[in-house]
Amino acid sequence: MLDLDLFHYRQFAGVQLLAAAPAYGFVVLLILLPIRLVGIDGMSAPEVGQTMFAMSAPLLVLPLLAGSLTLWLSPAALCGLGLVVSSLGVFWLGLVPIGARPADFVPALLVIGVGISLPWGLMDGLAVSVVPKERAGMAAGIFGTVRVAGEGIALALVTALLSSLAQAEISELVSVPTTSSLISERLATGDFGGASALAPEVPPSTLLASYGDAFGAHTVCLAAITLITAVIVFFSLRRPGSGQG
């Protein structure tokens, strides 16, 4: 059903990677970060909504401007630059301590939103412009499939990673090693009360610190994935036989 011959086009293969890139530097945070803010940091629902708006707001405007920026910068450069900026924002997010105020998250979230807006505004057009016109429909179908599937896979992998990192931190604190996986699962889903009840011998502050370390390592992994993707996307989308992107 899918014309896999399209992957012989280097730029088309790069666009598919670009389709999956926002999943690790943006989409998964739309799910995991509110869970942390409510369950771990203790924010109210209105505070979380206002905080998360800082990450989403740039997508209301900047993707519309990305096309205009191609007059000065190539799509390859814009997409690569945007993903680099987004990776810096994800890394910055991991430095925000547990229990921080909503305003403390805003700068990092704005950086993520600004960065991801650049490739977001270009990727749909790139998906059909890098293949012959008569194959544009198939290209759009493959692009949509990769985009949706990539986000679902990324969410599953990233959630499992956070739980594993939390378990590695907690296993040294609890007397019964088998409970560390249950505690880490509850922390990953924002159930701090349930996690604390499973480890009454661990002070809540220590449990929070362990989660904070796990979340920080988690964002480093996400930032690294996004940064590596930025480099690959840049070189994949460059025009063949040209020194320009």
Q: Does 176 score more than 70 pLDDT?
A: no
Please give the Cα distance from 242 to 76 (Å, whole number).
12
pLDDT at 81: 93
Comparing 120-129, 157-166, 179-188, which segment has the lowest mean pLDDT? 120-129
Helical packing angle, 204-237 and 10-22, nearest 10°: 160
pLDDT at 175: 67
Percentage with pLDDT > 90 across the chain: 39
Which sequence spans correspond to the domains of the chain?
A: 4-152+219-237
Please give the Cα distance from 94 to 112 (Å, whole number).
12
- Under the banding of pLDDT at 50, 70 and 90, the label for residue 65 is confident
Confirm if 52 and 78 have CB atoms less than 8 A apart. Answer: no
- Under the banding of pLDDT at 50, 70 and 90, the label for residue 243 is very low
Q: E strand or H helix at 146, and its extent? A: helix 136-170
Amino acid 154 reads: A
pLDDT at 200: 84
- Under the banding of pLDDT at 50, 70 and 90, the label for residue 7 is low
| DSSP-assigned states of every residue in 96-141 | SPTT--HHHHHHHHHHHHHHHHHHHTTHHHHHHHSS-GGGHHHHHH
Q: Is 133 exposed, middle or buried (0-12, 13-18, 19+ CB in 10 A)?
A: exposed
pLDDT at 108: 96
Question: What's the average model confidence in pLDDT over 216-237?
Answer: 92
- Under the banding of pLDDT at 50, 70 and 90, the label for residue 244 is very low
pLDDT at 36: 93
Please give the Cα distance from 63 to 49 (Å, whole number).
22
In this structure, how many other beta carbons lie within 10 angstroms of the beta carbon of residue 228?
A: 14
Give the residue among 57, 47, 50 at the shortest CA–CA distance from 116: 57
pLDDT at 130: 65
Q: Does 245 score more than 50 pLDDT?
A: no
Alpha-carbon distances of 103 from 47, 100, 112, 188, 230, rounded to whole Å: 10, 8, 15, 23, 28
Please give the Cα distance from 125 to 110 (Å, whole number).
25
Q: Does 53 score more than 70 pLDDT?
A: yes
Alpha-carbon distances of 65 from 7, 69, 98, 160, rounded to whole Å: 29, 6, 35, 36
Can you give the pTM of this predicted structure? 0.87
CA angle (203, 220, 152) in 5-degree steps: 95
What tokens were used for 24?
A: 């690790």
Question: Which conformational region is residue 97 in: left (phi greater than 0), alpha (psi within -120 to 50 degrees), or beta?
Answer: beta
pLDDT at 110: 96
Identify the CATH assignment for 4-152+219-237 out of 1.20.990.10, 1.20.1250.20, 3.40.250.10, 3.40.50.10860. Answer: 1.20.1250.20
